[in-house]
């Protein structure tokens, strides 16, 4: 039997516990926003960690297992809770490994592991809030430390940690205003309690918690009053309507500065670090600013989504993934319901980044549309491989086609074929580009009497006033046509053009 058998068993059972409770965790999610995805985010985070373990040989050491899980969870972390859980478990695993693995760790080692994990969770958050996963983490650490101080057994230490965590979970309803209003416990804290319960069963036996009181996740008979999606549950005035996440190849020394910078553009900021990687998460009303920060640290896996749209979308339905080289398009594309993967350098796109965006969009089927040839090729390559979700690729590689296709998907009514709507929108959109020196002439060859919308996507540094000039030109050629101008922020070309005409 591998020395890491117990470690694998715990991490696998932790994933299973969240999978079984995923729907309930999503339903009680009201902090930091009521976006009904905490269970899903934590599940996907743990799933990535366990997938990394599954790629190891059966006789891998506990050090290899701990490192694989930590890296997988860090790269795959979703949402505020997922990012914190990944950091918490990574810190805990480092101590477990240093103590010789789960089979060898004693009460003092358990207390040390839980204390280090709690500290790491607090350090990951820009503005720690009590009554959350952080409070429960600290309660577990304190309870286990008390047992270790009186020379208790390792079994006693981990069971006490669960008792402390459960009591901390019960208190979150009163400590967190949004949870109190909804009559629930904090969803992220509940997910962490599940991990600790599985750890207790792994160390102390399947019946270790049989006679210890559990905590109800909701107040019986209480009518949930969930806060409006897109607004911060803890009442911070600058809370954001968009979620931006990214990963960068940076070390721990960069973490504090990144927390500060992201905190200036939004809230619910978490930044975790480990193995030369930083994983950042922020809610913001200005996604382009957050993306700019991501670009400044040469980030990859820059994912943007609308929090409000994510609440109303059904993960069992077809999701839309928009791949764009234009940071400024993240906001309008997310507003239309797409999960947006911003890739400033298409040649540097990593397969796992695209896979993540696809999984975030849908659990069943996803439609991918790309604004660049290299991104389109990567999408086709992923689609050719078997697995879920199934991928449908809209064959185009121009940013104006992405705008038209995603806009069409947003107008779909229940039962309509989203793919066909997107393809039709692309088919009726003629695209081009301009250096700006002869924009009138460039537009002249594209505009006709049946033109309905002219889209201009401006590169970084291009004066938005060109839009006013274009409106005059378009009005002369096609009266009544709409002109939409976006600050795309691409490097080249200076102006991307899309001209949508009325269907035949």
Q: Which of 369-378, 388-397, 481-490 has the lowest mean pLDDT?
A: 388-397
* All CATH 3.30.2320 domain ranges in the chain, comma separated: 429-501
Task: Count Cβ neighbours within 10 Å for each residue of 139-150 and write b for 16 or more, e otherwise.
Answer: bbbbbbbebbee
Question: Peptide bond preceding 32: is omega within 30 degrees of 0, i.e. cis?
Answer: yes
| pLDDT tens sequence across 27-54 | 999 887 777 789 999 999 999 999 999 9
SS3 at position 225: coil
* All CATH 3.40.50.510 domain ranges in the chain, comma separated: 242-427
* All CATH 1.25.40.340 domain ranges in the chain, comma separated: 5-204
127 vs 389 pLDDT, higher one: 127
Question: What span, in angstroms and rounded, lies between the C-alpha atoms of 24 and 29?
Answer: 9
**Position 87 pLDDT exceeds 50:** yes
Tokens of 403: 């705008």
Band of residue 237 on the pLDDT scale cut at 50, 70, 90 = very low
pLDDT value of residue 503: 80
Report CA-CA distances (Å) from 170 to 121, 140, 237: 20, 13, 27
Band of residue 117 on the pLDDT scale cut at 50, 70, 90 = very high
**Position 231 pLDDT exceeds 90:** no
The proportion of the chain whose per-residue pLDDT surpasses 70, expressed as a percent, equals: 93
Specify the CATH number for 242-427; select among 3.40.47.10, 3.30.390.10, 3.40.50.510, 3.90.1150.10: 3.40.50.510
Query: What's the distance, CA 477 to chain centroid?
Result: 44
For 429-501, give the CATH class: alpha beta
**Position 230 pLDDT exceeds 70:** no
Report CA-CA distances (Å) from 390 to 31, 402, 412: 31, 20, 20
Question: What span, in angstroms and rounded, lies between the C-alpha atoms of 66 and 64?
Answer: 6
pLDDT value of residue 81: 93
Specify the CATH number for 5-204; select among 3.40.50.720, 1.10.260.40, 1.25.40.340, 3.40.50.620: 1.25.40.340
pLDDT value of residue 334: 95
**Position 416 pLDDT exceeds 60:** yes
pLDDT value of residue 228: 38
pLDDT value of residue 301: 85
pTM, whole model, 2 decimals? 0.85
Angle, helices 255-263 vs 287-296, to 10°: value is: 160
């Amino acid at each position: 039997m591998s020395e890491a058998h117990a470690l694998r068993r715990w991490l696998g059972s932790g994933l299973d516990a969240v999978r079984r409770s995923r729907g309930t965790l999503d339903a009680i999610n009201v902090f930091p926003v009521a976006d009904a995805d905490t269970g899903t985010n934590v599940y996907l985070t743990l799933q990535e960690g366990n997938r990394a373990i599954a790629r190891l040989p059966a006789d891998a050491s506990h050090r290899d297992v701990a490192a694989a899980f930590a890296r997988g969870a860090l790269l795959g972390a979703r949402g505020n809770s997922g990012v914190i859980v990944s950091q918490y478990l990574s810190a805990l695993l480092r101590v477990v490994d240093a103590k010789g693995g789960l089979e060898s760790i004693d009460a003092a080692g358990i207390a040390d592991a839980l204390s280090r994990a709690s500290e790491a969770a607090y350090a990951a958050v820009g503005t720690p809030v009590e009554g959350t996963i952080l409070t429960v983490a600290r309660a577990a650490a304190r309870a286990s430390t008390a047992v270790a101080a009186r020379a208790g057994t390792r079994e006693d230490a981990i069971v006490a940690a669960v008792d402390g965590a459960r009591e901390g979970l019960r208190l979150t309803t009163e400590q967190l205003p949004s949870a109190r209003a909804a009559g629930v416990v904090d969803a992220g804290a509940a997910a962490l309690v599940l991990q600790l319960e599985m750890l207790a069963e792994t160390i102390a036996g399947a019946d270790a918690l049989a006679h210890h009181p559990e905590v109800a996740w909701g107040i019986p008979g209480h009518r949930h009053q969930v806060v409006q999606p897109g607004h911060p549950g803890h009442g911070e005035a600058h809370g954001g309507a968009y979620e931006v996440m990214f990963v960068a190849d940076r070390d721990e020394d960069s973490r504090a500065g990144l927390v500060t910078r992201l905190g200036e553009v939004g809230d619910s900021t978490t930044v975790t670090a480990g193995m030369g990687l930083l994983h950042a998460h922020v809610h913001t009303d200005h996604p382009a600013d957050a993306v700019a920060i991501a670009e400044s640290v040469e980030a990859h896996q820059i994912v943007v989504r609308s929090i409000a749209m994510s609440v109303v979308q059904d993960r069992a339905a077809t999701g839309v993934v928009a791949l764009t080289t234009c940071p400024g398009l993240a906001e309008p594309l997310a507003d239309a319901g797409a999960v947006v993967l911003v890739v400033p350098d298409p040649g540097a796109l990593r397969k796992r980044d695209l896979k993540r965006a696809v999984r975030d969009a849908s659990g069943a089927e996803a439609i991918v549309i790309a604004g660049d040839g290299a991104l389109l090729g990567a999408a086709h390559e992923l689609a050719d491989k078997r697995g879920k979700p199934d991928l449908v690729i809209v064959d185009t590689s121009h940013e104006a086609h992405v705008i038209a296709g995603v806009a069409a998907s947003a107008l779909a009514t229940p039962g309509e074929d989203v793919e066909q709507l997107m393809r039709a929108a692309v088919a009726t959109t003629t695209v081009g580009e301009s250096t700006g020196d002869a924009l009138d002439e460039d537009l002249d060859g594209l505009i006709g009497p049946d033109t309905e919308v002219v889209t201009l996507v401006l590169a970084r540094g291009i004066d938005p006033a060109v839009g006013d000039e274009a409106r005059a030109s378009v009005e002369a050629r096609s009266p009544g046509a709409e002109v939409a101008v976006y600050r795309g922020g691409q490097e080249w070309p200076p102006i991307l053009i899309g001209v949508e005409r009325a269907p035949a």
